[in-house]
């Protein structure tokens, strides 16, 4: 039976955490301390940085400070796509960087997918990995045009391994109603996000790093961070707060916190799976401008996500993943349009999270050796794999090592700040309305990408 909202549970951080059990915060900071490195935020970025740093420099005293518990943010709430996709796109980087460097970036992302899986295996983290690649489906003529365009891009960047599939071939992987064409990319696996972050936090602690949970940072400065439980002084100070960054003093316009929302169904009956297929657990997305993304869970549910309310005035972030009823209904409508046979399936849980978006829509990792301050984030919703590469790169930079990673194009990307309010709110909501309109126009016919979307792309600077 579904509740008034259409989902039996809403918020509660995420389905992934509710399933595992929300942890009690451990080891809160007990007054002022001195350390070598302090990392703010215990999501994947902060934890991967700590993991590699503890390996490279076991002599350093590394502390992670986290307002709630490790994995409370997007890292414990996401769609579980461990994907090699480069935020900002390869063609975009090729306009500002040598082609060989851009190709190297893609190969590093491909490797990072393998690295996450290998680290999980090495340390007995059961992240429920299924390697099925990614299927991106085109469901109208304009979307099919974008799929062909994506295939042309892939031909320029063979490092992605992406290829165009006809409707029949796509259907043999996953039967999404109305598929006309698809792109399939090999470098992706589905994971259980909370299991990965929980396991990673355990391993990081085993490597001697202290994670001070239940400790909120109020200010970050050169040489120290101030928390509600004391001050941590350290030579190296790393900001790994991603979608929450706007809440820190002086960072309100650095990256906007964009929302992404998800629902998960009850397990589908075997008959439904027989019709849908999805035997390889590919992650799944469509070519809509306001796209939706999904995965099949190992216990036979569908978890599907999309934009919902894109942005809250003044860069406010949510707390426990609450989600309005209309977003649940929207995601259910997308689910039923992709898979009409799921009909009245129950929605077990609905939640949301925030992700960070820089003004140039490109993720970044940076470190200033003079001040000892570092940061990584702005993954625009594709951070599950990128956080691994970012954390590894930050560890290299803090350790003072020049590696293949420290010269990749995303290192030290600077974007201008977002516009002040109310322009920011008006702009972001205006853009998402325009993309929604473009999707509706394309669904009515027309073989090309709607001019509305082309204009919105130009305005947004994507």
Ligand X SMILES: Cc1cc2nc3c(=O)[nH]c(=O)nc-3n(C[C@H](O)[C@H](O)[C@H](O)COP(=O)(O)OP(=O)(O)OC[C@H]3O[C@@H](n4cnc5c(N)ncnc54)[C@H](O)[C@@H]3O)c2cc1C
Site of interaction with ligand X (CB under 6 A): 40-46, 65-68, 72-75, 77-81, 83, 216-217, 240-244, 247, 260, 262, 305, 353-355, 377, 379, 381-385, 387
Nearest to ligand X of 5, 216 (CB atom): 216
CB of 83 to ligand X, least distance (A): 5
Nearest CB to ligand X, comparing residues 13 and 142 = 13
Of the two residues 227 and 449, which places its CB atom closer to ligand X in the complex? 227
CB of 181 or CB of 380, closer to ligand X: 380
CB of 302 to ligand X, least distance (A): 14
Which one, 42 or 288, has the nearer CB to ligand X? 42
CA separation for the pair 216, 68 (Å, rounded): 8
Nearer to ligand X, 378 or 409 (CB): 378
Place of tokens 């490092």: 159
Min CB(224)–ligand X separation in Å: 14
**Shortest distance (Å) from residue 269 CB to ligand X:** 26
Least distance in angstroms from the C-beta of 189 to ligand X: 11
| Nearest distance from C-beta of residue 288 to ligand X, angstroms | 16
- Residue 136: beta bridge partners? 183, 285
């Amino acid at each position: 039976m579904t509740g008034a909202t259409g989902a039996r549970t809403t918020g509660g951080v995420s389905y992934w955490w509710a399933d595992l059990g929300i942890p009690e915060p451990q080891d809160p900071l007990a007054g002022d301390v001195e350390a070598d490195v302090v990392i703010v935020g215990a999501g994947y970025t902060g934890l991967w940085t700590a993991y590699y740093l503890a390996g490279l420099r076991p002599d350093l005293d590394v502390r992670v400070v986290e307002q709630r518990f490790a994995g409370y943010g997007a890292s414990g709430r996401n769609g579980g796509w461990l994907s090699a996709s480069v935020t900002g796109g390869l063609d975009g980087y090729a306009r500002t960087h040598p082609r060989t460097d851009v190709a190297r970036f893609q190969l590093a992302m491909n490797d990072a997918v393998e690295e996450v899986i290998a680290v999980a295996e090495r340390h007995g983290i059961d992240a429920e990995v299924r390697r099925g690649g990614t299927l991106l489906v085109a469901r109208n003529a304009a979307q099919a045009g974008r799929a062909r365009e994506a295939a042309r891009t892939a031909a320029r960047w063979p490092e992605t391994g992406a290829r165009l599939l006809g409707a029949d071939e796509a259907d043999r992987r996953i039967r999404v109603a109305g598929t006309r064409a698809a792109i399939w990319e090999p470098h992706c696996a589905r994971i259980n996000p909370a299991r990965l972050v929980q396991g990673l936090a355990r391993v990081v602690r085993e490597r001697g790093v202290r994670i001070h949970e239940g400790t909120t940072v109020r200010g970050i400065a050169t040489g120290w961070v101030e928390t509600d439980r004391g001050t941590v002084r350290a030579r190296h100070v790393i900001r790994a707060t991603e979608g929450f960054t706007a809440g820190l003093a002086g960072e309100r316009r650095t990256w906007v916190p964009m929302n992404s929302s998800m629902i998960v169904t009850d397990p589908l009956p075997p008959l439904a799976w027989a019709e849908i297929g999805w035997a390889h657990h590919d992650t799944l997305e469509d070519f809509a401008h306001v796209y939706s993304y999904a995965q099949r869970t190992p216990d036979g549910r569908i978890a599907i996500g999309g934009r919902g309310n894109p942005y809250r005035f003044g860069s406010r972030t949510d707390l426990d993943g609450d989600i309005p009823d209309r977003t649940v209904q929207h995601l259910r409508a997308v689910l039923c349009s992709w898979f009409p046979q799921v009909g009245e399936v129950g929605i077990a849980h609905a939640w949301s999270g925030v992700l960070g978006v820089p003004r140039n829509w490109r993720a970044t990792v940076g470190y200033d050796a003079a001040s000892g301050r570092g940061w990584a984030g702005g993954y625009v919703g594709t951070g599950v794999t990128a956080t691994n590469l970012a954390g590894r790169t930050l560890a290299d930079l803090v350790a003072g090592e020049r590696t293949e990673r420290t010269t990749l194009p995303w290192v030290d990307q600077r974007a201008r700040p977002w516009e002040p309010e109310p322009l920011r709110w008006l702009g972001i909501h205006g853009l998402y309305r325009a993309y929604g309109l473009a999707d509706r126009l394309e669904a009515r016919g027309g073989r090309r990408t709607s001019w509305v979307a082309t204009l919105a792309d130009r305005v947004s600077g994507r």
